[in-house]
Structures are given as C-alpha cells and as structure tokens.
Structure 1
C-alpha cells in the first residue's frame, strides 16, 4: 500500500499492534516511534500520520491531514457478475486505475450463484476497493452497486455522457478511435463469456456504441483494466 487508509471513525484512536496497517508501517516500512507515514481517510483528506507512542500491544497515532483529494475520473463501469475471484480483482484493479462507480450486474451468460458469494454477502468487497485506492495513493473509492440486472443498469442511467460497450465480435471500431463529445463515460463490459445477441440489441437500444480493444479475447478483469486505462487517457488528452 502506497498510502495507509483509515475510516472516519478511527482517527484519534489507539490501534492494535497486529492491525495489518500498523504491521505494514512498523515492519514493512520500518517506521519507529516519532516517525511519520503517508495516511488518509477513506473518501476524505490525506496527509501524514505520526507514530506518537508505540507500546507492546498497541500504537497511538497523531493525524495531520491537510490535503483535499481530487475527484475520481468521471467513468462509470457496468460489468457482468463473474466468479468471486475475478470480481475481487476487478474491484481492486479498477479502483487503482480510476473509476467513479462499479456496478456488477447479472447477465444471460453469467452464473447466478456468483451473487451469493461471501464477497457480496459479508461486505468483503469494500476491503478490495480500499486496497485499490491505497495502491493508487488516493483516498477516493468508487461507489459499488451489485445485485441488479443488466437491464436495470442500462435503462436507469442518467442522461448525458458517452456510452460504450466493449465487445470482441460485432464492434467495428477500436476504443481508442471513437470520438468523444462528452466529459463523462459509461462503459459496459460483459461477464466472462461475453454478451449475448439480445444483450447487444439492448445496449444499442440504449445508445451504447460497441467498441473493441484489440483482436485478442481478454479475461474480464484484463478488459476492465485495459478499457479504463484507455478511457482515462482519452479524458486527459
């Protein structure tokens, strides 16, 4: 982790020495009593935290957080619900690359049982987006939605913004070549087996343009990262 993130209700509290974040600071970074490290509040300010007191079983921190974090890139991702291990990768890596929201949807080729994973049932998913933000040296995490259908996701979108759907079979243009006229983007990416014909028809009906990112079929998590990297570049250029 390139920045150590804490929840809003944790500042000014004592932490156990076996807290994974404290262990990272003292054992991996080698910080001692009186030393500082990069820290921030999830969706809040960033700055420094000081190891003000180290005891045998606990550590006391002093926070000096004075930097406002920039907003997340205006990219909203709709992605087909995949195997839990794949979804974990998407949560972390999409957050690290930069996205404003992640919506995981059921698709015709997706396995319905994936929605019952402990990843979603126990709230484990949040740990992965926080880890992604820490990797990216950011406090901002995307909003995450799950448990809705593909149809709900694409028909309940707010007006405005570019609408792109990644597809290897019927897309005629590369994502890098599609002209953008809007400052925000919704990108839809299918589950591990891709879109069906009826889903492509529904996407087109909701004004999504199909685009590809090359001739090679990619894993869902790889397509998410590659697509986001291209889109972030396009928005900055």
Structure 2
C-alpha cells in the first residue's frame, strides 16, 4: 500500500515494503506486483530497478474497491496489543469505523499508549487493508466518551451492544434490514458499568450476546463482525 505522495519517489530498501517485494514476493527488475493507493485505486507496480539503497517502481492504476460495510464498532479501550489486533482484523473484514472509547471500568493508562500517541495505530489499519487487498481505510478515533461517540453515529443505524450479563437475545437472531447501517458496541475488558448500560439503553441500543462462553475482546469483535456480515450479506 502506498500514499499518493510516495508513488513518484524511490522506495528505500530499508522500508518493509521493499523487503517484502524482494524477499517474500521475490520480484526482480521487470516483474510486477499488486499495489494499492491509500483510499484510492488498486493496480500494479512494476519493479524497474534495484539499487544499493532504493528500489525504483512505476505504477499503473485501475479501479477503486467497493465501499466498506456500513458497520461501526464502538469499543471500550483495551490493552494496546488487543487494540492492534482489532484494528488490523476489523479493517481486513471491511468495517467502516472503529471508535475506541474511555469507559468507567477500563484502564485509563491504555489511552496514553504509544499505539495512540505515536500514530502507530494507522500502520495496523494499513496492514489490515493490505491483507484484504483493499485500499479503503476505516474511520478511527480514540479517547472519546461513550456519549460523545453515540452522538455521531449514522442516523437510522441498528444499535446493538454486546453484554454477557443483561442481554436477552443472541446476536445471531437479531433481525436484519437490508441496507441499514449497524453500530455495535463492546465494553472494555471488565465489561460495561451500570451507568454505561443506562446510557446505551437511552441511546436505543439493544443488548445481545454471543452465547454462554466468555470471549476475549478481540475474539468477540471478530466473531460479531463475521456474524453481522453473514447475516446481512455483506461481502
């Protein structure tokens, strides 16, 4: 995956993408490889020359990929490694937005992780998009409150909140309306507080569950996204 500002410049050999082209794809001058422009079209790169400190590449672009699935995840800030996994895998699955929120039971220090302060989260998102051979990146935010994020959710969304304790219905049995966006909320690793449950109910969220097993946050995210995609025919 490349940014528009990079495509006219040589690619330094120390760049992980250069190493991938040379050692994983094993491309040589004249060979082509799949490439994408961030939030733009997909296409082909041609390795023109391998120099001591850089690769010279030309690109030809085709069409942009289809839009992302109209699914927004609202997630209580988890530990940084868990957040990395969610950013990468949810992006690969085509989620349109991920909002990592401060919660009452969450660990406050997670919001100060270098994952967020250094911008490293964006590399996780780009990695997930590249894995899926898609150039579209989801909207990502972190550090806001549940109330702040709820106020920004797409109008007319189906609103669902995963909860192990006060959910009367399975996520797999929720009705699906064709074309309707979905907002799915998942609590922090210690779950929702009573106050947050009240906020979610006021915000018209329905509580649902994934069954009787207690799952890790990253596992619950991926399982829920897969269920929603299958249920709504999103590909």
TM-score, normalised relative to structure 2: 0.96
Q: Which residue of 1 aligns with 2:33?
A: 37
Return 173-182 or 59-68, whichever deviates more: 173-182
Structure 2 distance, partners of 1:157, 1:44, is 25
Q: Which residue of 2 aligns with 1:198?
A: 195
Structure 2 distance, partners of 1:49, 1:95, is 23
**Superposition CA RMSD, Å:** 1.2
What whole-Å deviation, never above 9, does each CA across 1:153-174 have from its counterpart, x for those lacking one?
1234342110000111111111
Q: How many residues were matched structurally?
A: 233
Alignment of 1:209-228 (within 5 A): 209-228=206-225
Secondary structure, aligned partner of 1:218: coil
What 5-or-longer segments of structure 2 have no aligned partner? Answer: none
Alignment of 1:156-171 (within 5 A): 156-171=152-167
TM-score, normalised relative to structure 1: 0.95
Structure 1 distance, partners of 2:10, 2:154, is 43
What whole-Å deviation, never above 9, does each CA across 1:104-146 have from its counterpart, x for those lacking one?
1000100111111111111111000000101111111101011
Structure 2 distance, partners of 1:14, 1:226, is 41
Instruction: Return structure 1 stretches of 4+ with deviation > 2 angstroms.
Output: 155-159
Q: Which residue of 1 aligns with 2:55?
A: 59
Structure 1 distance, partners of 2:18, 2:99, is 32
What 5-or-longer segments of structure 1 have no aligned partner? Answer: none
Does the CA contact (< 8 Å) of 1:162 and 1:185 recur in 2?
Answer: yes
How far 1:224 moved relative to its partner? Answer: 0.8
Q: Which residue of 1 aligns with 2:119?
A: 123
